[in-house]
Structure 1
Amino acid sequence: MNIFPTKEQKFKLLGNQKETISRLNRRTEKSENLTSQFTEKSFRGIVNGTDFKIISSIIGKGAFCVMTGKINSDSGVVKVEIHKVFKILLGVFMFLPIFGLVAMVWSKAQEFSPILIVVMVGQILIIRFVFISLAFKLISKDSLNRLQDVLDFEWIEN
Structure 2
Amino acid sequence: MPNLKMKIFPTKELKFKLIDDQTKTLDRLNRRTEKSDNLISQHTDKSFCGIIKGNEFKIISSTIGKGAFCVMTGAINSDGGNVNIKIHKVFRILLGIFLCFPVIGMIILILTKAQEFSPILILSMIGQILIIRYVFIGLAFKFLSRESLNRFCEVLDLEWIKDQAQQC
Shift of 1:109: 1.1
The runs of 5 or more residues in structure 2 that have no matched partner are 1-5
Does residue 126 of structure 1 match 2:131?
Answer: yes
1:149 counterpart residue number = 154
Instruction: Calculate the aligned-residue CA RMSD, in Å.
Output: 0.7
Equivalent positions of 1:103-122 (< 5 A) are 103-122=108-127
Deviation per residue, 1:10-68 (Å, 9 max, x gap): 00100000000000000000000001111110000001110000000001110000000
> Which residue identity lines up with residue 58 of structure 2 in the other structure?
K
Paired residues in the alignment total: 158
- What is the aligned-residue identity percentage? 66
| SS, match of residue 20 in structure 2 | coil
TM-score (norm 1): 0.98
> Which residue identity lines up with residue 49 of structure 1 in the other structure?
G
| SS, match of residue 12 in structure 1 | strand
TM-score (norm 2): 0.93
Does residue 4 of structure 1 match 2:9?
Answer: yes
Deviation per residue, 1:98-155 (Å, 9 max, x gap): 0001011111111111110000000000110111110000000000000000000010
Moved over 4 A (4+): none
2:3 counterpart residue number = none
The runs of 5 or more residues in structure 1 that have no matched partner are none
Following the alignment from structure 2 to structure 1, what is the Cα–Cα distance between the partners of residues 42 and 50? 11
Following the alignment from structure 1 to structure 2, what is the Cα–Cα distance between the partners of residues 148 and 114? 49
1:73 counterpart residue number = 78
